[in-house]
Amino acid sequence: MTVVETIESALDASELDYRQEADGRFFVTLPGTKKLQTNCWLVVAEHAVVVEAFVCRQPDEAHEDVYRYLLRRNARLYGVHYTIDGTGDIYLVGRIGLHAVTAEEIDRVLGQVLEAADGDFNSLLELGFGTAIRREWGWRESRGESLANLRPFEQLVRRDGPLAPADEERA
């Protein structure tokens, strides 16, 4: 079985949505819970299958805290690691040597991508976008809009936590 056939078989067995490009690239959509989906490329290169997944745009604030979190998290990841691009956007990247490409290894690495991107998503948002989240919470609350997708960040707007939207304006 070729590497491309192995990848197809693994993706089909996992019932993942994907699009295969003619040049040995696969665009895979991983379903999540905190991050609704993570888009991931699997690219068959000369010596490896390259894995790349977008996680989050460049943080608005607390860059040092976000990067410290990513570096510490890298120590516990399998087959991929966090990196940033030239604009500061956050990605997971990795390589699987062609000799190691099996359906099980594809599943394991994609599972790690999903666990990291989905599992770390709210923590990254909280660290890097706290002010924007508090501002959005206040705006929605003032207009009677739904706060459903902001509920995981409720601790950011509690009076005993970081600045609530009303306090932030006075600061």
| Tens digits of residue pLDDT in 130-166 | 999 899 888 988 999 888 888 888 888 874 444 444 4
User: Taking the model in full, what pTM does it have?
Assistant: 0.85
Sheet holding 81-84, edge to edge: 17-20, 25-31, 37-44, 48-56, 90-97, 81-84
Integer Cα distance of 150 and 156 in angstroms: 10
Q: Which of 99, 100, 82, 80 is nearest to 91 (CA)?
A: 82
Domain boundaries defined on the chain: 3-130
Answer left, alpha or beta for residue 52, where phi above 0 means left and psi between -120 and 50 means alpha.
beta
Does the pLDDT of residue 167 top 70, yes or no? no
Element (H, E) at 63: helix 63-74
Both structure tokens of 34: 């905190």
| Tens digits of residue pLDDT in 39-87 | 999 999 999 999 999 999 999 999 999 999 999 999 999 999 999 999 9
User: What is the pLDDT, as a whole number, of residue 12?
Assistant: 95
> Mean pLDDT across the stretch 25-49?
95
Q: What share of the chain has pLDDT > 70, as a percent?
A: 92
CATH for the stretch 3-130: 3.30.1460.10
Q: Report residue 20's pLDDT band, with 50, 70 and 90 as the boundaries.
A: very high
Integer Cα distance of 49 and 32 in angstroms: 23
Residue type, 29: T
Does the pLDDT of residue 30 top 60, yes or no? yes
The DSSP 8-state label assigned to residue 163 in this structure reads: P
Q: Report residue 169's pLDDT band, with 50, 70 and 90 as the boundaries.
A: very low
- Angle formed by the axes of helices 63-74 and 103-143, nearest 10°: 150
CB of 41 closer than 8 Å to CB of 109: no
Q: Which of 38, 1, 32 is nearest to 18 (CA)?
A: 38
Q: Which of 89, 85, 170, 155 is nearest to 122 (CA)?
A: 155
> Mean pLDDT across the stretch 88-105?
96
User: What is the pLDDT, as a whole number, of residue 168?
Assistant: 42
CB of 109 closer than 8 Å to CB of 10: no
